[in-house]
Structure 1
């Protein structure tokens, strides 16, 4: 299919209902509509010969013929009717310019089956809403080259016009069409007067061109690093090994420590792919898709064209970037999770950086993992896929060790930099704990212990930079009574969870504060005293806002650390849009900021050579969650943030504060021993029969009525046991860890099986009977990452 067909420059064409009796050779199309209708074969409509496979169309649905978007998944003759009366078949109402490549239709069909989601809803998520609406498209008058002038025409021109023409004819033909003012600037003319004379003489021709007008994409064009480096021996081995597989499907896992030069490997692989006349797709976690990351790719592949796709784009910019990929103007696409659906043809490689990152998993329909969808797409496209990480997911590591993926290792940093020294500090010891003044609350310790406080002071005083990580936002995580005997704590009245105190970001009235629930966003007034004992209340738990107060108290005067001026807090409460985040990173890069305090937003994708200290304020934040992946996430977070230190000429130092210094996830991270940690954790998973040695599906049913939620979950569990074979283990129903959210009671079923197919067969059998469907009350999560 011609790549230009995906977004042809035409307006939607209205189709009209066919005659009551269609001709015997009439064309029919099966359409998957963008609704929750769970039919893999779609609905059949009368079509004309111009309708294309993969095209987005508008079709009438239901008795009221409601216009509904959908996608053509099959074209054919009367055989598609399956005996249905052709006189009753409705016609496609209209078509749109959007036509998906056949490879994306095939990927969507696989996702519909694997993730148990209606095909039309999968396809609806493939094409962004801004593309469906064609946001920002306008017609603009531009200039193209006309007929070359003869001698008489040139003599008739003014001297200024002749000079302008001499410069214009030397321009690259790809410069056109171009706006008059831009053309004048290109040839260094102060006005468009000479351009207008050339246009009046028909030497330049006016043309109407459709363009997508969009605000400027964030500034990724200026990169500190040109991307041109001599590869190390290790990098060369990896590049040559992966490029030897070009043209064939081959999954690769690249395990490289932080600072080992994985990005350089990616760039050189993409260069090889472009040289073959093919195109490249790179996925990056949303929070790691910074101007620093994308800048190197845009700078390196400027001539090939780069499209950037992420959630921070305006609707018009998203449409513009998508259209660049669809038309072939961009041969390289870099983006976050949804970029796995970029409309690229002739795809030569797919790269997934930080492949372990949980943001690749979507938490709403369709609940897909972009990493796994990328592996499937590379199989469909017959191209290599590269999964890169310093801390690979145990699923990918297991696949590599089992021989399903090719494993490539980069165990050392490039250049002279070394992995930072890591010191684990036990906060349970008196010599590390520091009592805070009463102003911080009764019997409160400072969050920054003695060792980290000393190192922070020395680092800032010597003119270097530091990063402090605490993966908990807000001020305090729970409000409790000072009378322990009462057992009272402030809980959400709509969720089975506590409320979080946010200083300055919730309403206040009469000197009393409200708190907010992080799950349903409801608010409550903090009581004046314990409603049971009448004793005072205490705000427990440390969030980034409380640490911000501590920094001001301990270091504001001595080190000149002022929030918003010499240091910034980086979390979901302060970074309201992508430009806020990019601005802070740019100020930190320039040395304007001495310190970054934040959540996991600062744990990955950052490369600042002047950072010599990284402090983890509490490595235990997620370790004790009732989730078998808690240890794995703890190791990844500590290891990733530690990798931000020591990337320049100064040796790096990492101080990890914990109450569990001997936990494998912390002690192994301190030794930079991923291989040892993975071996320990995989051994434990094998003994307990957990992923990746088995596959898992989690089904959550919710209802405002407790008994109805439990009964519906029991019904589904019984059906799964009935239709599943002996290999499928069905656990539940069981209350979810957080049993009630937003007044909906939640019950879960967990299925385990050595392979996914028996579970898929059982679910498909129930699905075919209309007794299992992903909707507002039932969530089917295949390969779940979170079990709360």
Structure 2
């Protein structure tokens, strides 16, 4: 396995650079040594595709672990794993706890993904799979591979500081010449975007897909008020005429994102969360995406009785409706939390698309995560700005990662590909860097911002959330804790640790519970919390992945 016991590697490879092949070869070496491996993926939706590829390489040695298994399936896998009858376990973060007798390798694919952190309101322990995996490999003299095209800023910083081994794969690999020629003959296609280049006698590489930024402000000024820019609509027409496949990405489900009265300004909000309700055309209802509350759509404003109710914002359902309007003969699939409620639905949608039973796949962030779709030649990002203005220090990083990952779904096959990003902020550093596939440029801006403001990796965070049915109770509990913490910091002489808050959370009310928070920022803020009693309603999260 290379660099010795307890080694941690960051495998930083652009999308399509062959990271999975490296994982498989590392697994092969571990199995040959008589040990076992765990292959982690961030979402259950990715498990089936990963299992198929791993099982094809190691038939009869692979098991799947995730929350969708029945009790009987879970027990059978647990029993076989403990008996040493399983060589490779594939699954999301919970797969880490499979009782393998001699684990020698853990792979964390898409290591940047925040799904690897178990955070409140999920039950304790609130762990990060990356930290647990590092601990397990130290205890078992094993190897940990952290793989991503867009590494977590903190992970990349550790690599730059020499705290872990860094491997870089800067080129997209098409495959070996014999395989490429066989694929071309079967599909009867030739590359139409960028020519293949030879980096060795047998290995062929291809450039990353071209990314075009479309300024939607200019589209609006020109009179185009639709969802699709003229460039994206023309690209869709070309792709459909060539019988190729398209991904359309918008990170919001539903039809319209809020409902507004044009006379009095009323906005339909959730009575339990105070968040704008989203209109879902399939259910003909307004739905809260935080607690699931549903109510009928209003025909008149409930405040001023005006009939001038307007629906604003776009979600996956509205994108689907717009595609059906412009391209009525196109075959569509939609992949979001409404259409894929369990892992079988995920598998069905993905299988149908890969079998070319649809021309266009419309989806949320699930379609951006590690999927290998070689027949996709066009990726359209309907709104690249969603989430970029959230009051969270990781908002820029999340935007860059999401855009880069979804752009990486294009051009992974012989046909090449292109990406169109629609944005109202083409000059934002995260959007501009994603359009250039420029991780180094993004990292330079992001790390300077983190250093200046004292955010991770330069200081650590601890977050305490106070969640109660009454607003005054959430506030008073937060203020009571703040008094204790100030005295605690003074007593421990933790002068390098500061306290932010108490203050309402950005999402202040969720499912009939009001939320306040305190954030500690310092070299090791958890030191102040060791003796803190946490009564019901208090939730501590060390190294939170967001502060919303």
- TM (norm. structure 2) is 0.90
TM-superposed deviation, 1:288: 5.0
Q: Give the Cα separation in 1 of the matches to 2:362 and 2:447.
A: 33
TM-superposed deviation, 1:259: 0.5
> What is the aligned partner in structure 1 of residue 347 from structure 2?
582
The answer (yes or no) to whether the contact 2:51–2:62 under 8 Å persists in 1 is: no
TM-superposed deviation, 1:430: 3.3
> What is the aligned partner in structure 1 of residue 534 from structure 2?
772
**Closer/same/farther in 2, CA of residues 521 and 586 from structure 1, 3 Å limit:** closer
> What is the aligned partner in structure 2 of residue 477 from structure 1?
257
Q: Give the Cα separation in 1 of the matches to 2:71 and 2:359.
A: 35
> What is the aligned partner in structure 2 of residue 467 from structure 1?
247
Deviation track 1:558-586 (CA, whole Å, cap 9, x = no partner) reads: xx11xxxx220110001122122212211
Q: Give the Cα separation in 2 of the matches to 1:719 and 1:575.
A: 45
TM-superposed deviation, 1:403: 1.3
> What is the aligned partner in structure 2 of residue 546 from structure 1?
318
SS at match of 1:548: helix
> What is the aligned partner in structure 2 of residue 498 from structure 1?
276
Deviation track 1:27-64 (CA, whole Å, cap 9, x = no partner) reads: xxxxxxxxxxxxxxxxxxxxxxxxxxxxxxxxxxxxxx
> What is the aligned partner in structure 2 of residue 650 from structure 1?
415
1:705 equivalent among 470, 474, 477: 470
**Closer/same/farther in 2, CA of residues 477 and 453 from structure 1, 3 Å limit:** same
- 2:153 corresponds to 1:375: no
Correspondences of 1:72-151 after superposition (within 5 Å): none
Correspondences of 1:337-352 after superposition (within 5 Å): 337-352=93-108
TM-superposed deviation, 1:289: 2.4
TM-superposed deviation, 1:262: 0.3
SS at match of 1:697: strand
The answer (yes or no) to whether the contact 2:45–2:343 under 8 Å persists in 1 is: no
**Closer/same/farther in 2, CA of residues 619 and 287 from structure 1, 3 Å limit:** farther
Correspondences of 1:158-173 after superposition (within 5 Å): none
2:424 equivalent among 626, 647, 659: 659
> What is the aligned partner in structure 2 of residue 738 from structure 1?
507
> What is the aligned partner in structure 2 of residue 519 from structure 1?
290
**Closer/same/farther in 2, CA of residues 612 and 542 from structure 1, 3 Å limit:** same
TM-superposed deviation, 1:335: 1.1
The answer (yes or no) to whether the contact 1:431–1:450 under 8 Å persists in 2 is: no
> What is the aligned partner in structure 1 of residue 381 from structure 2?
616
RMSD after superposition:
1.6
Correspondences of 1:302-701 after superposition (within 5 Å): 302-303=59-60, 305-363=61-119, 364=122, 365-414=124-173, 415-430=204-219, 435=224, 445-483=225-263, 486-505=264-283, 514-535=285-306, 536-556=308-328, 560-561=329-330, 566-701=331-466
**Closer/same/farther in 2, CA of residues 587 and 657 from structure 1, 3 Å limit:** same
TM-superposed deviation, 1:598: 0.6
**Closer/same/farther in 2, CA of residues 606 and 392 from structure 1, 3 Å limit:** same
Say which structure, 1 or 2, has more relative contact order (CA 8 Å, 6+ apart): 2
> What is the aligned partner in structure 2 of residue 219 from structure 1?
none
The answer (yes or no) to whether the contact 1:432–1:449 under 8 Å persists in 2 is: no
The answer (yes or no) to whether the contact 2:96–2:133 under 8 Å persists in 1 is: yes
- 2:497 corresponds to 1:728: yes
The answer (yes or no) to whether the contact 1:434–1:449 under 8 Å persists in 2 is: no
> What is the aligned partner in structure 2 of residue 245 from structure 1?
3
TM-superposed deviation, 1:705: 2.4
SS at match of 2:150: coil
TM-superposed deviation, 1:660: 0.4
1:763 equivalent among 512, 516, 529: 529
Q: Give the Cα separation in 2 of the matches to 1:555 and 1:272.
A: 50
2:34 equivalent among 277, 282, 288: 277
SS at match of 2:27: helix
Q: Give the Cα separation in 2 of the matches to 1:253 and 1:734.
A: 37
The answer (yes or no) to whether the contact 1:568–1:595 under 8 Å persists in 2 is: yes
TM-superposed deviation, 1:250: 1.6
The answer (yes or no) to whether the contact 2:219–2:229 under 8 Å persists in 1 is: no
Q: Give the Cα separation in 2 of the matches to 1:386 and 1:406.
A: 9
Q: Give the Cα separation in 2 of the matches to 1:430 and 1:609.
A: 31
Q: Give the Cα separation in 2 of the matches to 1:380 and 1:432.
A: 61
Deviation track 1:305-361 (CA, whole Å, cap 9, x = no partner) reads: 111112332332222222221111002111111011111122111110000111111
Consecutive unaligned residues of structure 2, counting only runs of 5 or more, are: 174-203
**Closer/same/farther in 2, CA of residues 519 and 657 from structure 1, 3 Å limit:** same
The answer (yes or no) to whether the contact 2:46–2:371 under 8 Å persists in 1 is: no
**Closer/same/farther in 2, CA of residues 258 and 434 from structure 1, 3 Å limit:** farther
Deviation track 1:162-215 (CA, whole Å, cap 9, x = no partner) reads: xxxxxxxxxxxxxxxxxxxxxxxxxxxxxxxxxxxxxxxxxxxxxxxxxxxxxx
Q: Give the Cα separation in 2 of the matches to 1:376 and 1:464.
A: 45
Q: Give the Cα separation in 1 of the matches to 2:298 and 2:103.
A: 60
Q: After alignment, is 273-282 or 309-318 more displaced?
A: 309-318
Q: Give the Cα separation in 2 of the matches to 1:406 and 1:787.
A: 30
Q: Give the Cα separation in 2 of the matches to 1:411 and 1:554.
A: 38
The answer (yes or no) to whether the contact 1:417–1:649 under 8 Å persists in 2 is: no
The answer (yes or no) to whether the contact 1:427–1:433 under 8 Å persists in 2 is: no
TM-superposed deviation, 1:764: 0.8
**Closer/same/farther in 2, CA of residues 432 and 299 from structure 1, 3 Å limit:** farther
- TM (norm. structure 1) is 0.63
TM-superposed deviation, 1:761: 2.5
Q: Give the Cα separation in 2 of the matches to 1:671 and 1:520.
A: 38
The answer (yes or no) to whether the contact 2:47–2:91 under 8 Å persists in 1 is: no
> What is the aligned partner in structure 2 of residue 782 from structure 1?
542
- 2:57 corresponds to 1:300: yes
Deviation track 1:632-685 (CA, whole Å, cap 9, x = no partner) reads: 111111100111111111121000000001111111111111111011101111
SS at match of 1:289: helix
TM-superposed deviation, 1:532: 4.0
**Closer/same/farther in 2, CA of residues 311 and 606 from structure 1, 3 Å limit:** same
Q: Give the Cα separation in 2 of the matches to 1:553 and 1:577.
A: 29
Deviation track 1:447-468 (CA, whole Å, cap 9, x = no partner) reads: 1111000001101111111111
